[in-house]
Chain A
Amino acid sequence: KAGVTQTPRYLIKTRGQQVTLSCSPISGHRSVSWYQQTPGQGLQFLFEYFSETQRNKGNFPGRFSGRQFSNSRSEMNVSTLELGDSALYLCASSGGTGGFLSYEQYFGPGTRLTVT
């Protein structure tokens, strides 16, 4: 079974631009979570989607948004990029429908975003 894929793997953007990152979950998985990883803050939860609905959201500004499609693929968007948005963005999929079952997550390789 193919793992979680993320595109693009690397991205360089300029301050003020916007960016869209894509995540394809493991086949059959309906839950997708997104995380941001920086050297200073570590791994931080952005949001989680299940059946096209956002069920949980982390403590990030409204510039960070996401969506999920009917095939469970997910995208996240960051508008008005800031230098501090430079990070590794990871998505993870889970076969669980909720609660404890949603914590067994399988991560993609991440998208490395650099904002200049």
Chain B
Amino acid sequence: DAKTTQPTSMDCAEGRAANLPCNHSTISGNEYVYWYRQIHSQGPQYIIHGLKNNETNEMASLIITEDRKSSTLILPHATLRDTAVYYCIAPGGTSYGKLTFGQGTILTVHP
């Protein structure tokens, strides 16, 4: 697995975009980047993943730099329900089913 580094915490105003960065400078060419979040007392929730190109789904957008050493998860219009711990994970391709969760970023969305 590639090591990932995220800020410990971030704040965002409700209705504004939340941009969560992740550094994964040791990522190999065929390793995807996955984002999960965990709302207090719930199981983690899959958000999005990507390899090279930017990705978007109904929950978020994922921007990966051209050199693939970092990425940014964007929640376009954050709500109070987006307050959670966000995890950026870059699992290796041969480790079946194993996600290695770091400390993640605690995102707090304020009214």
Contact = CB atoms under 8 A, between A and B. Distances in A.
DSSP majority for the A interface? strand
Nearest to A57: B98
A50 B96 contact: yes
A4 B44 CA distance: 12
Nearest to A34: B97
Contacts of B95: 56
Interface in A40-59: 42-45, 48, 50, 55-56, 58
Given A42-B103, A103-B34, A98 B44 contact: no
Interface residues of A, number: 29
B43 interface: yes
DSSP majority for the B interface? loop
Most buried by B among A31, A32, A105: A105
A72 interface: no
Contacts of B100: 45
Query: Interface range on chain B: under 10, 10 to 19, 20 to 34, or 35 or more?
Result: 20 to 34
Given A43-B44, A90-B43, A107-B44, A33 B97 contact: yes
A98 B43 contact: no
B34 A102 contact: no
Contacts of A103: 32, 34, 49, 89, 91, 97, 99
B101 A43 contact: yes
9 contacts: A42-B101, A43-B44, A48-B98, A55-B96, A99-B93, A99-B96, A103-B49, A103-B91, A106-B46
Given A48-B98, A56-B95, A92-B43, 9 more contacts: A32-B97, A33-B98, A50-B97, A56-B96, A90-B44, A103-B91, A103-B99, A105-B99, A107-B43
Interface of A: 4, 31-33, 35, 42-45, 48, 50, 55-56, 58, 90, 92, 94, 98-100, 102-110
Chain A to chain B: the 8 pairs with minimum beta-carbon distance, closest first: A48-B97, A107-B43, A43-B101, A33-B97, A55-B96, A56-B96, A102-B97, A45-B98
